[in-house]
Copies of this chain bind each other. A is one copy, B any other.
Amino acid sequence: MLVVMKHSATDIQIIEVVDRLRQMGFRAERLPGSERTAIGIMGNVGYVDADAVAQYPGVKELIHVTKPYKLVSREFHPENTVILVGNVRIGEDFVVIAGPCAVESEAQLMEAAEGVKKAGARLLRGGAFKPRTGPYSFQGLGLEGLKLLAKARDLTGLPVVTELLSESDLEMVAEYADVIQIGARNMQNFELLKAVGKTQKPILLKRGMSARLEEFLLAAEYILNEGNPNVILCERGIRTFETATRNTLDLNIVPLIKELSHLPILVDPSHGTGIYSLVAPLSKAAKAVGADGLMIEVHPHPEEALSDGNQSLNLENFTQLMNEL
Segment of A86-94, A115-123, A207-215 engaged in the interface with chain B: A207-215
The interface size bin for chain A is: 35 or more
With the chains together, A61 CA to B306 CA distance in Å?
A: 18
Residue of A20, A66, A135, A167 with most partner-chain B CB within 10 A: A135
| Contacting residues, chain B, for A215 (C-beta < 8 A) | 133
With the chains together, A42 CA to B286 CA distance in Å?
A: 39
B254, A53: Cβ atoms closer than 8 Å:
no
A211 to chain B, nearest CB (A): 9
Total identical chains: 4
| Contacting residues, chain B, for A46 (C-beta < 8 A) | 136
Chain A 58-79 against B: per-residue CB contact (8 Å), 1 yes, 0 no? 0000110110110000011000
With the chains together, A4 CA to B1 CA distance in Å?
A: 11
With the chains together, A189 CA to B208 CA distance in Å?
A: 12
**With contacts A27-B34, A252-B278 known, what are 19 further pairs, Cβ within 8 A?**
A4-B65, A20-B303, A33-B66, A34-B42, A46-B136, A47-B137, A49-B305, A49-B306, A52-B302, A52-B309, A54-B309, A54-B310, A69-B134, A136-B225, A165-B190, A242-B252, A254-B281, A284-B288, A285-B286
> Residues of A with Cβ closer than 8 Å to B?
2, 4, 6-8, 20, 27, 29, 31, 33-36, 38, 40, 42-44, 46-49, 51-56, 62-63, 65-66, 68-69, 75-76, 131-138, 165-168, 185-186, 188-192, 209-210, 212-215, 218, 221-222, 225, 238-245, 248-256, 259, 272-273, 275-278, 281-282, 284-290, 302-310, 314
